[in-house]
Amino acid sequence: MIVVVGLSHRSAPVEVRERLAAGPDVLPAVLARLAGRDELAEVMFLSTCNRVEVVALAYGDAGVDRAVIAIREELARQGGAASGAELAPYLYEERGDEAVRHVFRVAASLDSMVLGEPQILGQVKDAYDAAVAAGTLRGTLGRCVSRAFALAKRVRTETAIGAGSVSISSVAVELARRIFTDLDERVVLLLGAGEMAEAAARSLGKGARTLRICNRSFDRAAALARDLHAAAVPWEGLEAELAQADVVVASTASVKPVVTREMVRRVMKARRGRSLLFVDIAVPRNVEREVHAIDNVYVFDVDDLEQEVARGMKARHAQVDAAEAIVADEVAQFLLWTRGLEVQPTVVAMRTKARAVLFSELERTLAGRLRHLGEGDRAALTQMLESGVNKLLHAPTTKLKARAAEGDDAGDLAAAVRFLFDLEEAAAAQQAARGEGEKGRDDDDRLPH
């Protein structure tokens, strides 16, 4: 059974989450400790800024409780907690079908702080790759996470869950593109050097021809310019810079506007009417309200940007039902596959025993009364027995698999078959062999990502 134990932005504050985080440098050691636990058959460790989760496959349904305890102990060790009780209030757990659903929803960004954000899928893929490289992910759990990637792609292509801007920086980029369409040849001016303006400038500057920074403290502008591969300009040259810029991100700490209506009127004459966009994220505002009334000048302040963010989130939330329906469909398909695995050892053991009994009798007969038969006749008898085994066991095999697909009483029927044909030991051996064999076989099942 698959289990998930972890914490996220919904259950724990950042000071707790950061204690359990595992970067690429320590992740192999964390996976090695988890894989060393006898209670866990497979394991993956997901660590992001908003969540830390262990996704694992327990050894049989009877071992789920022990697997959960093992994971909690390792998380406490990772977080430096004196005991598991210290972390207990922040941890959640999911088991079986709900664990599968949780993994799928996380990959599809339905459980993210920002609904529909694309980064989480890349983070899950990184966790998957690390687990595969460490040899801790292979069979059933490996298949589960691979299916989560396919699900995330379906959600992205079949719904608009990722549509709409939901951050100040992404909104700034979207507004700029509405006005200029193409930012490749535009000049972005960062007015001030605040954190929010820096984030917006990073987004806007990715496709811009030039990024320039104008700040009262030239040293601060120069330091930030080195970080952003931009040019620092003196505060005294602000008006000249406005004449050259296409997009201005304003975020100074001034209590009065630093960009006035008269200043922009002069600038627009020099620009010969070329459009100018102000993204004013300062409070109090840096750009006078009247500037927006000037032809070909566009001003968006914090309230405007927040409204855009709200519209983007509303559009995404409208897609949640469609995305959840895809999750439900994918969970159902995966569970059908896992239920088929439950009866497979019994089917294999039944067919193996039938063949062993019949071919043993055939060998004894060919060594006795029919020892005079030639190779052709012996081959014909062998083929006859193979065909007989297949026809005789076709019905029970088909019905067992059908019951597994329907989720009814497949377990009871498989147990009855094992009892009637005395297959308990053989089926157990097949189950153990499957656990090891899937490591190689699952390479064929794994989806590209």
The residue from 163, 192, 216 where one domain ends is 163
Q: Are residues 131 and 246 in the same domain?
A: no
Q: Is 420 contained in some domain?
A: no
Ranges of the chain whose pLDDT falls below 50? 434-449
Q: What is the CATH number of the domain that holds 209?
A: 3.40.50.720
Q: What is the CATH number of the domain that holds 32?
A: 3.30.460.30
Of 310, 338, 364, which residue sits at a domain end? Answer: 310
Q: Are residues 136 and 209 in the same domain?
A: no
Residue 321 resides in a domain: no
Interatomic CA distance for residues 168 and 302, integer angstroms: 9
Query: Do 126 and 222 share a structural domain?
Result: no
User: Does residue 293 lie within any of the structural domains?
Assistant: yes
Residue type, position 273, single letter: G
Give the pLDDT confidence of 32-75 residue by residue, as tens digits: 999 999 999 999 999 998 899 999 999 876 689 999 999 999 99
Q: Which residues pair with 280 in a beta bridge?
A: 250, 301
Model pLDDT, residue 297: 97
- The confidence score (pLDDT) of residue 7 equals 95
- Confirm if 243 and 271 have CB atoms less than 8 A apart: yes
* 64, 21: one domain: yes
Is residue 435 in a domain? no
Give the active site residues. Answer: 49
Asked, as a colleague might, if the bond just before 257 is cis with ω within 30 of 0, I would say no
SS3 189: strand
Which tokens hold the place of 88?
């207990």
Same domain, 150 and 219: no
Closest CA to 305 of 275, 281, 276: 281
Q: What is the pLDDT of residue 448?
A: 35
SS3 236: helix
Cβ atoms within 10 Å of 433's Cβ, excluding its own: 12
The residue segments making up the domain with residue 32 are: 2-163
In this structure, the answer to whether residues 47 and 109 fall within a common structural domain is yes
Residues 172 and 252 placed together within one structural domain of the fold: yes
Tally the C-alpha atoms within 13 A of residue 234's C-alpha that lie toward its C-beta. Answer: 2
- Boundary of a domain, candidates 310, 343, 361: 310
Beta-sheet pairing, 51-58 with 187-191? unpaired
- In 3D space, the residue among 149, 27, 122, 148 whose CA is nearest the CA of residue 78 turns out to be 27
Q: Which residues contact 79 (CB under 8 A, 6 or more apart)?
A: 16, 19, 20, 87
Whether residue 445 is contained in a domain is answered as: no
pLDDT at 76: 93
Same domain, 126 and 182: no
Residue 326 lies in a domain: no
The reply to whether 447 falls in a domain is no
Q: Are residues 264 and 245 in the same domain?
A: yes
Q: What is the pLDDT of residue 441?
A: 39
Give, as one character, the DSSP assignment of residue 113: S
pTM above 0.75, yes or no: no
157 plus 176 within the same structural domain? no
In whole angstroms, what separates CA 236 from the centre of its chain? 48
Specify if 215 maps to a domain.
yes
Are residues 215 and 156 part of one domain? no
Burial 408-427 (b: 16+ CB within 10 A, else e): eebbebbeebbeebebeebb
Q: Does residue 256 sit in the same domain as residue 298? A: yes
- Number of structural domains the chain divides into: 2
Tokens 């930012």 sit on residue: 183
